[in-house]
Structure 1
Amino acid sequence: MDADTSQPEARPARRGFFRRSTAIEGEAKPARTLGPLTMIFREAANYPGRVALALVALFVTAAATLAIPNGFKLIIDRGFAGGADDIGRWFQYLLVIVGVLAIGTALRFYFVSWLGERVVADIRLKVQNNLLRLAPGFYEENSPKEIASRMTADTALIEQVVGTTISVALRNLLMAAGGTAYLFWLAPQLTVGLMIGIPVVILPIVFFGRRIRNVSRSSQDRIADVGAMIAEVLAAMKIVQAFNQERREGERFAAAVERTFATAKRRILLRAVMTATIILVVFGAITLVMWRGAIAVTSGEISGGTIAAFVITGILVAGAFGALTEVYGELLRGAGAASRLEELLEEQPAIAPPARPLALPEPPRGSLSFRGVSFRYPTRLETPALKEFTLEVEPGETVALVGPSGAGKSTVFQLAERFFDPQAGTIRLDGVPLTSADPAEIRKRIALVPQDGVLFSANARDNLRYGAWDASDEDIWEAARAANAERFLRELPEGLDTYLGESGTRLSGGQQQRLAIARALLRDAPILLLDEATSALDAESERLVQQALDRLMTERTTLVIAHRLATVRAADRIVVMDEGRIVEQGTHAQLTEAGGLYSRLAALQFAPSEAA
């Protein structure tokens, strides 16, 4: 019988963070305010010493930068007036300032970068720990790809914000404030004129900056399209060549590349115009200030050193104000990323231990009881997956679940492991209601062999001891022997230390399934949930897997979604399901003679000689 597909594919969530999030997959949209950044500040506050050192370095570098114009002022006004010795003394003073600036910048970079990496690491750990608490149903309602994007792209944005953007913002804020005060001290009249001219400099930066950002985003989208097209075509190269579509795919790719180039041309043109405009405005303003200052120098109103310091400081202040406008946009993007991650942190598990969980009896018996259970998946509330389902499974009994696709067989497994709670009825393990027990303790008493033998991107040892992490090599080999996996494991290049590839792709389907059985053997749980997976295997692999399953089921309570007649015949009881209900129960012989749904399914799916 086919695997149960009653569980629907994930649809747009009715609850959860997607309902609140407006961000497209893989990209955090800018927030409207900087409020979400408080999450970052809370994490950074856990390291007050590092924050203090970073702030001290920041103040020192800003002060040293602003001291450079004053150094030139002293060289011009006092050094040139006093001769070579005085010039040397004031240049030495300038060198000291440069040395302080260099050391302070290095320290600022180190402490700020350290904080950025540490804060991101802490946020990732907290988000991952919370994700591990959430029930599997959450990941069926919400896209794991989107969650992965938040854990990578969004944390990278936060790392940039903490490690660069906030530092740049504070430094430019200090430079702008301190530089403006210094300008007023140097030449109040010239400073008033400069303040009027600063908006003239900032406006083109803001005007062109927004358009360049939009075009750059479009350019990145076009580049992403090209990358996606390459991945898609290369992954399906056999199909492309089998249907002689090389030329069409080449033309389609060329069109995508040309669209990317057209977008890039717009970006280049805008940057060229912005550069020319800014150079004209900035250097024009400097020329005008110097012109006015030169007249003031000739009239004796100010000194030559003053005008030199004024021009240098004016450039620094204008640059600081311009940088602040750019940094603000980056901070908003960082706030958007922080808000998306905070949604994950705030998500509460739908399945959680009760305040005072009941202890499961010792030693475990291995009984399962479903009484009047009704259940609807959160993503498809209009269609019941189970309706008034009642089933008593005695310790050591093997019960086979059969029925057409969508009958609710896999739903029984998911409810037994308390991945979901039913809307009505009770499920008991060894007499204790699942909702009254700790989910972790429930799952310790259950071993699962999934239909597709899920493996991880790790070596064979770690995949096997996933069922019991403290298992010794002797235990692992014993389980592998019982699962008919010992031979091929010993033939691997590095034995148990051999890396099995992404999701175990270096093994055949039969080998993956036998590893999954060995993993369940190591679990040594009293209850076995077996989504039998021999239907897609060749005859030899099927024989080896079936032998391993027979050993695994010995002296265990077993619920098995049956695909093969051998498993059905070996079961103590066959439960026939249809549309979430039990329609028949009995042995193979009894149900075949009854002429009901089981008899029809057997006639359709089993070989005629076997079904007779």
Structure 2
Amino acid sequence: MQEDSTPQKKPLRAAALKRTLRLYKYVKPYWPAFSLGILFLFVSSAANLAFPKLLGELVDAAGGHRVTTDPHRINQIGLLLAAILIAQGIFGYLRIMLFVNVTERSLASLRQHIYNHLIKLPMRFFLSRRVGELGSRISSDISLLQETFTTTVAEFIRQIIIIVGGIVLLLHTSVQLTLLMLATLPVIMVIAYFFGRFVRRYSKLAQSQVAEANTIVEETLQGVLNVKAFANEFFEMKRYRQKIQEVAATGMKTGKFRGAFAASMIVGIFGAMIGVIWRGALLIAEGKMDPGMLLSFVLYSSFIGGSVAGLAEVYTSIQKSIGATEHLLEILDEPAEPIAETAVVAPQDHLTGQLSFSNVSFHYPTREDQQVLQHVSFDIAPDQQVALVGPSGAGKSTVVSLLLRLYDPQSGTVRFNGKDATSFPLSALRSQMAIVPQDVFLFGGTIRDNIAYGKPEATTEEIREAAQKANAWEFIARFPDGLDTVVGERGIQLSGGQRQRIAIARAVLKNPRILILDEATSALDSESERLVQDALEKLMEGRTSIVIAHRLSTVRQADKIIVLDKGQLVEEGTHQELILMEGGLYKSLSDMQFSH
């Protein structure tokens, strides 16, 4: 079994590293600045390597075994050391400034790219993921990459330069002592390999747990009214505490491996240095080495030892970054919807308002064993007002999802203008439809922003006119700030009826060819319902309208009523036709509602 498992792991590590390197395409536009930063890094790292050599020469110039000293040589070396130190400071400043600038621009581009991709993903992607988790990917995971781009990569390159350059200079100084010191390298590499696997695994787990904890915070704050109404504050505190404790436990496990890694490195490196100094002291005693040479060797060994030990920290940071990168690339690897910015719809893509379902069957991707629609067929003519009615779970809202092409049916065809829906550009199709849902979502900005969401380039006059048609202007005008009134998170500052009328104004402004009303008046009081219903009747004029309703009183005037039950179309006709069908579902629903 072991022989089988070993070869499988290598490709995974290589693949993970290859996937991580994909992120460097975001650095490409800033490659000149990044290359200059690398040059400054190389120069400042090389300058570091000059110190041990010059300090050794300084000690030897001071006397050592010699009878006379050379003050001029001492001053010359001292001034050279000071000049290198100043140059190193300047190059270090320029390198950090360049790396930070490149990092901030690259990560801004990455954030934008991930958000752009995320918002273009199909609905099936969001069925199995929570908002807080996705938010954490854009915030926490990218923040982790920020440290990697800014500090870790630079440190890695700097330490590699010091290690390689230091070893070359050590060999030049004393081959015997260098070989003694390098004998510890195989041990260090085995330790790095062993502990690195565990650090990466636990770092990836910690990122996932942080995302889950963020989800709890986001959901409870968005639903704080429900939390308080059910007196569940302490329940949510406990739920969050459990998740945070999981994060802490995973972090502590990671810390154990990082600590053991660092301790092993220190013991190995400084053990080697003790051996080197011991052997060097014997060589000085035998007259085979100058004190300055041993000082240079010890300093080079210290630099190399410090860099190798620093590589332990850099290595664990890179492993954490690979874990974060994998999460981000999982999102980027998801196939997006083929949407495009559409300022003007092409003439051949204009909707007439005619649409049809032909033998459509559908199940949601997360519930493949449960058919939501089964062989549903119907036709809707241009400018018709059509009602979809039926018990909860009959498939009414699913019909709307298929019209908007949030999903495509597993079998059958949805048609517009007699053509397959898939032959229309997705953005062109959706841009000619509008939906007024039961649970209106308002963004946390102003009333103006929320109405203009239906047409972002709309003028103030157009927005005001849309508000008037939606019977919303009378309450907007009463606010001191009018259209610039902030509605609060999810529109919490407004009543249900007011939110509904803002949504209608948004749809009015969009001026769709096909209008979808999903239980738009079911949660309103009588006065609000009257105002909203009046606004809806104005909105439905001159366009194809599809109304989903439980309350049959709102759909009596519809040109056609489609009755769904358990995913099947069971009846179709006008109110007068359906009410005469003895034993029919519509008549049964109607009798139940109007008998109370």
TM over 0.5: yes
Structure 2: how far apart are the matches of 1:95 and 1:117? 33
Q: Is the 8 A contact 2:470 2:505 kept in 1?
A: yes
Structure 2: how far apart are the matches of 1:262 and 1:536? 45
Q: Is the 8 A contact 1:136 1:419 kept in 2?
A: yes
| Residue 153 of structure 2 corresponds to residue 166 of structure 1 | yes
Structure 2: how far apart are the matches of 1:340 and 1:250? 27
* Alignment-derived partner of residue 117 in structure 1: 104
Query: Cα distance, 1:279 vs. partner?
Result: 6.0
Structure 1: how far apart are the matches of 2:125 and 2:200? 35
* Matched length: 575
Matches within 5 A, 1:268-287: 282-287=269-274
Q: Is the 8 A contact 1:30 1:333 kept in 2?
A: no
Query: Cα distance, 1:59 vs. partner?
Result: 0.9
* Alignment-derived partner of residue 457 in structure 1: 444
Structure 1: how far apart are the matches of 2:58 and 2:121? 66
Matches within 5 A, 1:496-535: 496-535=483-522
Q: Which moved more, 1:441-450 or 1:216-225?
A: 216-225
Query: Cα distance, 1:184 vs. partner?
Result: 1.0
Q: Is the 8 A contact 2:184 2:268 kept in 1?
A: no
Change (3 A) 1:31 1:581: same
Structure 2: how far apart are the matches of 1:290 and 1:201? 20
SS of 2:55's partner is helix
* Alignment-derived partner of residue 50 in structure 2: 67
Residue-by-residue CA offset, 1:39-93 (whole Å, 9 max, x unaligned):
0233323333123212201211210111111221222122566455543332221
Change (3 A) 1:218 1:55: closer
Query: Cα distance, 1:528 vs. partner?
Result: 0.5
Q: Is the 8 A contact 1:384 1:580 kept in 2?
A: yes
Residue-by-residue CA offset, 1:197-232 (whole Å, 9 max, x unaligned):
456677778878888888889999999999999999
Q: Is the 8 A contact 1:31 1:335 kept in 2?
A: no
Q: Which moved more, 1:90-99 or 1:517-526?
A: 90-99
* Alignment-derived partner of residue 348 in structure 1: 335
Query: Cα distance, 1:424 vs. partner?
Result: 3.3
| Residue 417 of structure 2 corresponds to residue 430 of structure 1 | yes
Where does structure 2 lack aligned partners over 5 or more consecutive residues? Answer: 1-11
* Alignment-derived partner of residue 368 in structure 1: 355
Structure 1: how far apart are the matches of 2:90 and 2:312? 28
Equivalent of residue 129 in structure 1, options 95, 109, 116: 116
Change (3 A) 1:490 1:187: farther
Structure 2: how far apart are the matches of 1:351 and 1:249? 40
Q: Is the 8 A contact 1:112 1:163 kept in 2?
A: yes
Q: Is the 8 A contact 1:39 1:338 kept in 2?
A: no
SS of 2:379's partner is strand
Q: Which moved more, 1:215-224 or 1:305-314?
A: 215-224
Read off the aligned partner of 2:20 and give its amino acid letter: L
* Alignment-derived partner of residue 582 in structure 1: 569
SS of 2:516's partner is strand
Read off the aligned partner of 1:443 and give its amino acid letter: R
Change (3 A) 1:212 1:524: closer
* Alignment-derived partner of residue 54 in structure 1: 37
| Residue 580 of structure 2 corresponds to residue 597 of structure 1 | no
Equivalent of residue 139 in structure 2, options 136, 139, 152: 152
Q: Which moved more, 1:508-517 or 1:331-340?
A: 331-340
| Residue 59 of structure 2 corresponds to residue 76 of structure 1 | yes
* Alignment-derived partner of residue 392 in structure 1: 379
Structure 1: how far apart are the matches of 2:577 and 2:87? 92
* Alignment-derived partner of residue 36 in structure 1: 19
Query: Cα distance, 1:438 vs. partner?
Result: 1.2
Query: Cα distance, 1:570 vs. partner?
Result: 2.9
Structure 2: how far apart are the matches of 1:540 and 1:500? 21
Structure 1: how far apart are the matches of 2:44 and 2:476? 60
Query: Cα distance, 1:178 vs. partner?
Result: 0.5
Equivalent of residue 99 in structure 1, options 50, 67, 86: 86
* Alignment-derived partner of residue 406 in structure 1: 393
Structure 2: how far apart are the matches of 1:389 and 1:260? 48
Change (3 A) 1:228 1:532: closer
Read off the aligned partner of 1:121 and give its amino acid letter: A
Read off the aligned partner of 1:37 and give its amino acid letter: T
Structure 2: how far apart are the matches of 1:478 and 1:268? 62
Read off the aligned partner of 2:431 and give its amino acid letter: K
Read off the aligned partner of 2:585 and give its amino acid letter: L
Equivalent of residue 186 in structure 1, options 156, 173, 180: 173
Query: Cα distance, 1:582 vs. partner?
Result: 2.2
SS of 1:334's partner is helix
Identity percentage of aligned residues? 38
Read off the aligned partner of 2:410 and give its amino acid letter: Q
Residue-by-residue CA offset, 1:122-168 (whole Å, 9 max, x unaligned):
33333333334333233235555544443333333333332222222
Q: So what's the TM-score if we normalise by structure 2?
A: 0.83
